[in-house]
Structure 1
Amino acid sequence: MVVKDFFKTPDGRTAKLYRLRNSSGFGADITDFGGAVVSIWAPDRDGRMTDVLLGFGNPADYIENGPFFGAVIGRVANRIAGGRFTLDGKEYELALNDSNGKNTLHGGDCWGRRLWKADVIDNTMLALRLTSPDGDAGFPGEVEATLVYMVTEANELILDYTATSDRPTVVSMTNHAYFNLSGESAGNCLDHRVQLRADRRTEVDEFLAPTGSCPPVAGTPYDLNAGKSFRQIFADLPCGFDDNFVLGDVDGVMKRDVAVVSSDTTGIEVRVSTSAPGIQFYMGYFLDGTAVGKNGGGYPQFGAFCLETQLWPDAVHHSEFPSARLEPGRPYKQTTVYQFGIAE
């Protein structure tokens, strides 16, 4: 595996970049800072390798990483309403870091802004490890988290997450990759099409916190089961989606091809399979051109989309949701597969 220095952290440590490739050249560049996926190189319909992932032109921008480009998200992905939760009778207070000041977003002091310990397994596999101490960002328990990235000959990028704790706590991990299948500097994604196999969604309030209701999508603009162009989505919903779609009521059951997105321009297609019960489909509403990308230009609004596999948001407040509770001796596990190919 090719490994090179990426940037220096403020405390003088060196973040590195790891180049995972299969025999045909497909692969990903991953940094141990935040566990971020920096690039994904996939062949287009003419065989040209295309970087389909947004990322910073200046590597040191991953230190702050306001949009969470490619980052590992933890301890708890998505939103915790009100920045507090109760576990075994004790209330825990967290940072209100959502843009509206009402919720905790992505765990507050997110794991995607930490330097992880990296172990190279071979040219196609990288293991990243992080110790999150008791009280970290307000959460109880010392958690040992591991994420293994693997590239396969089938042009898959596989993410295997595990976490253990020494006392009861809550954990829900994901990755915040921003995709543009026409190329990371191609502008907006109006030339894309999505199919998302979900019959329900988790409804949210005006502050994007789940209400507890999971209405069916049939007969609404949220129904993507038959496939829909991004252009049509924006015609129906000018802000696009930033919503969790329900893939199942039980965590840990692998579901194949839950989301399929393709670009008309390049023909590149990504298929998502996951053991998680939910997937956040976000269409880049908050991108505003201020994040400078790898080719020196700013990323515009709707210049990417995210498919964040996860437990349902705010599960700590909804006993009917798949639980985020993590017990000692019972590891958290999640597997997600992003497979790249050419759309038919």
Structure 2
Amino acid sequence: MSVTRFIFDHAADGTPVEGVTLTSPAGVSATLIAHGARLVRLLAPDRAGTLSDVVLGFDRLSDYLESSAYFGATCGRYGNRIGGAAFTLDGVRHDLSVNEPPNHLHGGADGFDRRLWAMAVEEAENAVTFTLRSPDGDQGYPGELLAQTCYRLTADGTLDIRMTATTDAPTMVNLVHHSYWNLAGHAAGDVRDHRLTVLGGAITPVDDGLIPTGARLSVDGTPFDLRDGPLLADALDALGGTVGGGTVGGGTTGFDHNWCLDGGTEDVRLVARLDHPPTGRRLELLSDQPGLQVYTGGYLSAAIIGKNDQPYRPFAGIALETQRFPNSPNIGDFPSARLEPGRRYEHRMELRVTAGA
């Protein structure tokens, strides 16, 4: 295993943006940068041993700053949406940054994805930890928050992500990792030839603004039943004009919904699997969170020019975001996102890319 540090780019004021590449004996390598505590490249072999970069992203910092796609970023304080860009905590209303009117998305207009985090490399662990201090009132949130995202690449090529936070006053926290995956390679086109398995028996249906209504809808007999690993082309076509308990975009924008995951949250468990039969690559996602946002990239467009000048058209990649449920601060029976002083927020993901025969 090896760790290589480098300068990815420079901010407008000349500040260097550091990066690090972690390499494993399994042939997998992960490249992270301090801007947004972000995964910018993941090289993985296919069944023939050929390496491909399987996450979407950019080659330059300026492109990340201009993009609203959150490629590879740590999103916070609250990943996903909060309806009406406000919540009430202990009788006090907190108005948040409105960046998807009238709602709040991924921490606001100046969310954690847009910040330069401090970077500390741990060579003995083949790991890097990014740290960010968010002041009281940041984007409307109460309390000073100390957030950390640690990426560790294991000998078998598993990327272990641990997001943690502490606060000095009651607040809401939901840190989310936002990589887009294409197991054929980031420049291969769309993901309709992948198979997706999600181990969740219900979704949280949404309104026209993609805000959960507060209900939970069984996936039985709906296009949201992904438990048997359907081909994404078939799943997206089945979505078609169905409503399925909430807005689904009529098949043109695909999935952008939260699944209520099976199993407990005391430790990580398998929650999703993405397969690309032509290359043999498989991504297994394990997490300790109650929800999973599946976003099939329907709002991407050819105007987004990614790495190696590759246009990222709709469905060029799929984001699998483990999380607390969207709008949990406003829905009492959703899993709580509240964090108290003296307690520690923890969110763990394991991303394991392998290649079959």
The TM-score range, normalised by the shorter chain, is over 0.9
Q: State the SS of the aligned residue for 1:137.
A: helix
CA contact (8 A) 2:27 2:157 kept: no
Instruction: Give yes or no for the alignment of 1:153 onto 2:166.
Output: no
Letter in 2 for 1:33: H
1:343 CA drift (Å) = 4.3
Q: Does 1:282 align with 2:295?
A: yes
Shift of 1:21: 0.8
Deviation at 1:248, TM superposition (A): 4.8
Structure 1 alignment gaps of length 5 or more = none
Superposition deviation, residue 257 in structure 1: 2.0
**Structure 1 letter corresponding to 2:327:** D
1:89 corresponds to 2:91 = yes
Query: Where does residue 257 of structure 2 map in the other structure?
Result: 243
The 1-side partners of 2:221 and 2:96 are apart by: 38
Superposed displacement of residue 240, structure 1: 1.7
CA contact (8 A) 1:38 1:53 kept: yes
| Consecutive unaligned residues in structure 2, runs of 5 or more | 240-250
1:103 matched residue in structure 2:
103
Distance 1:10 1:88 in 2: 40
What displacement does 1:64 show?
A: 3.3
1:51-83 deviation digits (Å, cap 9, x = unpaired): 000011333312233100000010001000001
Identical-residue share of aligned pairs (%):
38
- Cα distance in 1 for partners of 2:58, 2:268 equals 32
How far apart are 1:134 and its partner, in Å? 0.4
Q: Distance in 2 between matches of 1:205 and 1:96?
A: 18
**Distance apart, 1:249 and its partner CA:** 8.4
Off by >4 Å, runs of 4+ in structure 1 = none
Contact 1:132–1:144, Cα closer than 8 Å, also in 2: yes
Provide the rounded CA distance (Å) in 2 between the counterparts of 1:23 and 1:227: 29
Looking at structure 1, the residues matched to 138 and 14 of structure 2 have their Cα atoms a distance apart, in angstroms, of 22
Distance in 1 (alpha carbons) for counterparts of 2:275 and 2:25: 24
Alignment partner of 2:146 out of 136, 144, 147: 144
The one-letter code of the counterpart of 2:27 is G
Give me the TM-score of the superposition, normalised by structure 1. Answer: 0.96
Q: 2 CA distance for matches of 1:201 and 1:19?
A: 36
Which residue matches 1:115? Answer: 116
Q: CA deviation at 1:267?
A: 1.3
Worse-superposed segment, 124-133 or 235-244? 235-244
Q: 1:216 to 1:275 in 2, by over 3 A?
A: same
Tell me the CA shift for residue 23 of structure 1: 2.2
Q: Post-superposition shift, 1:234?
A: 1.8
CA contact (8 A) 2:43 2:53 kept: yes
**TM-score using structure 2 length:** 0.93
Is the contact between residue 30 and residue 38 of structure 1 (CA under 8 Å) also seen in structure 2?
Answer: yes
Change (3 A) 1:229 1:343: farther
Q: Which residue of structure 2 aligns with residue 74 of structure 1?
A: 76
CA distance in 2, matches of 1:208, 1:255: 27
Report the equivalent of 2:245: none
- Structure 2 CA distance for aligned equivalents of residues 151 and 117 of structure 1: 19
Q: Which amino acid aligns with 2:303?
A: T
CA-to-aligned-CA distance 1:296-344 (integer Å, 9 cap, x gap): 1211111100000100000001110110100000110010001111246
1: CA distance between counterparts of 2:224 and 2:148? 34
CA distance in 2, matches of 1:59, 1:80: 28
Superimposed CA distance per residue, residues 135-163 of structure 1 (whole angstroms, 9 cap, x where no aligned partner): 00110000000111000112100101110
- Structure 1 match to 2:331: 318
Report the 3-state secondary structure (helix = DSSP H, G, I; strand = E; otherwise coil) of the residue aligned with 2:235: helix
Map Cα deviations across residues 245-303 of structure 1 (whole Å, 9 max, x no partner): 001586x4224221011112211110000001101000000101122111212111111
> Is the deviation greater in 233-242 or in 179-188?
233-242
Quickly say closer, same or farther: Cα 1:146–1:203, change in 2 above 3 A. same
Deviation at 1:106, TM superposition (A): 0.5
For the residues of structure 2 that align with 1:287 and 1:6, how far apart are their CA atoms?
A: 24
Number of the residue aligned with 1:307: 320
Q: What CA deviation, in whole Å up to 9, does each residue of 1:175-206 have, x standing for no partner? A: 11010000000011121001111001111111
> Is 2:270 aligned against 1:257?
yes
